[in-house]
Amino acid sequence: MWGKNTGNTNKISILIDAGNFYHLVLKKLGIQEGQFDFEKFVTFLANGRAIADKGKRFYVGTIREKIGDLKSKEAMARQTSLFAVLKKYHWEIKTSKLKVRDEEIIIDNRVEDYQKIKKLGIHKIKIQRLREKGIDVKLATDLIVGAIDNQYDTAVIVSSDSDLIPAIDWVRIRTKKKIEYIGFSIPDEHNPEHSTNPLLSLIAKADVKRILVKSDLRPFIL
């Protein structure tokens, strides 16, 4: 739990949902987390405002190495390296275990070349996906606790997860703290339906809305 701030007011806390940020932004830019300067990014988001003590928060699912899986080993090494950099700059890293979920994909007209695949006798395939569990709950909890403890005046939320809306409503109504939503508009030229767009429901709930495009993000690519 954050300690109460009895000193200077008009401070901000910046909360980044790393998994959400990766899929909506970094993946569209074609880079990994370690190729993005998060410290420089929060300085940009702060825009001259004071960041609260323990006010740089990074919420992420932790990667575990699977025996004999080189890809998972490399991903774990990249994440460990990223954590070392963030800790150097006094970030609070809030983690959750990534859970493996089995999914079944039916081969139909939603799949490219589905007719050729079906002719091979393949009608469905099974895959495994990694899912974060509890990250939104941890972010929402910190949002509320930080408001109650008067740790910040404005919370800058870098996440387009609609599950945060109840916590945002509570903070704004009960504590009168401000919420600043950072959304992104990044077109996917190859798959327009997969383009990144800001979440309208979060835009409606925030006191301040900032929508960033590719040119805004390029200065932070290492």
User: What are the tens digits of pLDDT across the range 136-153?
Assistant: 899 999 999 999 999 999
Residue with tokens 């945002």: 168
Is a pLDDT exceeding 80 seen at residue 77? Answer: yes
pLDDT for the residue numbered 4: 44
Rg (CA), the chain: 20
**6 within some domain:** no
Residue 39 lies in a domain: yes
Section 41-47 average pLDDT: 97
Residue 34: pLDDT band (50, 70, 90) is very high
Confidence of residue 28 (pLDDT cuts 50, 70, 90): very high
Please say if the pLDDT value at position 89 is more than 90.
yes
The string of DSSP letters for 159-180 reads ---GGGHHHHHHIIIII--EEE
**What is the domain range of residue 24?**
11-220
Mean pLDDT score of the chain, rounded to an integer?
A: 87
Residue 2 lies in a domain: no
Residue 49 lies in a domain: yes
- Structure tokens given for 43: 């300085």
205 lies in some domain: yes
Q: What is the pLDDT of residue 3?
A: 43
Tell me what the mean pLDDT of segment 35-54 comes to: 97
Flag whether 212 is in a domain: yes
Strand partners, 178: 154
Global confidence as pTM: 0.81
Average pLDDT (203-217) is: 97
Q: Please report whether residue 4 resides in a domain.
A: no
Q: Is pLDDT larger for residue 6 or for residue 164?
A: 164
Give me the pLDDT at residue 118, please. Answer: 75
Is the Cβ–Cβ distance between 124 and 106 less than 8 Å? yes
- The pLDDT score that the predictor gives to residue 98 is 57
Residue type, 20: N
What's 86's domain CATH number?
3.40.50.1010
pLDDT of 133 reads 60
Q: Which two tokens stand for residue 42?
A: 């929060």
- Does the pLDDT of residue 130 top 50, yes or no? no
- CA nearest neighbour of 80 among 69, 67, 64, 92: 64
More confident residue, 191 or 58: 58
Helix (H) or strand (E) holding 18: helix 18-21
Helix axes of 70-88 and 38-46: crossing angle, nearest 10 degrees: 50
Count of domains forming the chain: 1
Per-residue pLDDT, 188:
87
